[in-house]
Amino acid sequence: MPIRRGLVGAPRDYLAPSGAWPNGPFEKNAPVSVLYAAHIASALDSAIDNAGMTRTAAAEALEIARPTLYDVLGGRTFPDLHTIAKAEQALGVQLWPDSEETLGMVP
What is the model's pLDDT at position 103? Answer: 62
What is the model's pLDDT at position 71? Answer: 97
Other Cβ atoms within 10 Å of 46 Cβ, number? 13
Could you please report the per-residue DSSP string of 49-105? HHTT--HHHHHHHHTS-HHHHHHHHTTSSPPPHHHHHHHHHHHT---S-SSHHHHS-
Which CATH number is 87's domain given?
1.10.260.40
In a domain? residue 7: no
The values of phi and psi at residue 44, to 5°, are -65, -45
In a domain? residue 95: yes
Range of the domain at 77: 32-102
What is the model's pLDDT at position 60? Answer: 96
What is the model's pLDDT at position 97? Answer: 87
In a domain? residue 55: yes
In a domain? residue 69: yes
Dist CA 36 CA 68 (whole Å): 17
In a domain? residue 26: no
In a domain? residue 94: yes
For the entire predicted model, the pTM comes to 0.87
What is the model's pLDDT at position 6? Answer: 67
Q: How many structural domains does the chain have?
A: 1
What is the model's pLDDT at position 29? Answer: 87
What is the model's pLDDT at position 101? Answer: 57
Please, what are the averages of pLDDT over each run of 10 residues along the chain (107 residues)?
72 96 93 93 97 97 96 96 94 86 56
In a domain? residue 78: yes
Other Cβ atoms within 10 Å of 3 Cβ, number? 5
